[in-house]
Amino acid sequence: MKIVIVGCGRTGAFLAGLLDSGGHEVTTVDLERSSFTHLPEGFKGTTILGNGTDLDVLRQAGVEKADALLTLTQGDNRNLMSAQIAKEIFGVKQVIAKVNDPIRATTYREHGIGTFSRTSIIGTLLEAMLMGDPEVGKVLIQKAKAHEAQMAERV
């Protein structure tokens, strides 16, 4: 798959690394050059310096031919704007925006934009772990731990 990731902070870079080593064609976009240092060593994808809500930057990132676009910057609104541009203007089939405000995440999901809220996901997971319902996050945590171990090994 050809995947564009807007926002190369810790999460964006982590995901870019996973997809890259899974054999996908990854392009990451960020406003700050220093953000690309989060990418794992040996990252084979492309990095684009620029604003992910800018049509020309998205075009440069190859959004016209992308199968999926994920927006993972720190700004909910920026993420929603990039994701909507990708979906409505460039016709990207799968778009997912990180929206920390759970209510905004729901509203936009109802309007056809894939969203996830770190707030509600982590909150739900922690509650389940505390209240002795370990099944809820079992697979997720196992997978995350495996990824972490792989990363640590490489370093």
Cα 132 to chain centroid distance, Å, stands at 30
**DSSP reduced 3-state for 87:** helix
- Judged by beta carbon, residue 8 or residue 80, the one nearer other proteins is 80
State the binding string over 111-130 for other proteins (x if CB under 8 A, else -): x-------------------
Q: Which residues contact 154 (CB under 8 A, 6 or more apart)?
A: 40, 41
Round to whole Å and give the CA distance between 71 and 29: 9
Contacting residue, 18, 21, 24, 101, with other proteins by CB under 8 A: 101
> Is 107 a binder of other proteins (CB under 8 A)?
yes
> DSSP readout, 14-35?
HHHHHHHHTT-EEEEEES-GGG
Considering only residues 81-100, where is the footprint of other proteins by CB under 8 A? 81, 84-85, 88-89
Kindly state the smallest distance separating residue 154's Cβ from other proteins, in Å.
35
Pairing between β-strand 114-116 and β-strand 94-98 as defined by DSSP bridges = parallel
Quickly count helices (H) and strands (E) in the chain.
6, 6
Instruction: Show the tokens assigned to 17.
Output: 């690394």
Contacting residue, 76, 92, 95, 115, with other proteins by CB under 8 A: 76
Contacting residue, 55, 122, 126, 140, with other proteins by CB under 8 A: 55
Instruction: Show the tokens assigned to 97.
Output: 């925006």
Kindly state the smallest distance separating residue 49's Cβ from other proteins, in Å.
17
- Judged by beta carbon, residue 53 or residue 117, the one nearer other proteins is 53
> Is 24 a binder of other proteins (CB under 8 A)?
no
| Residues near other proteins (CB under 8 A) | 53-56, 75-78, 80-81, 84-85, 88-89, 101, 103-104, 107, 111
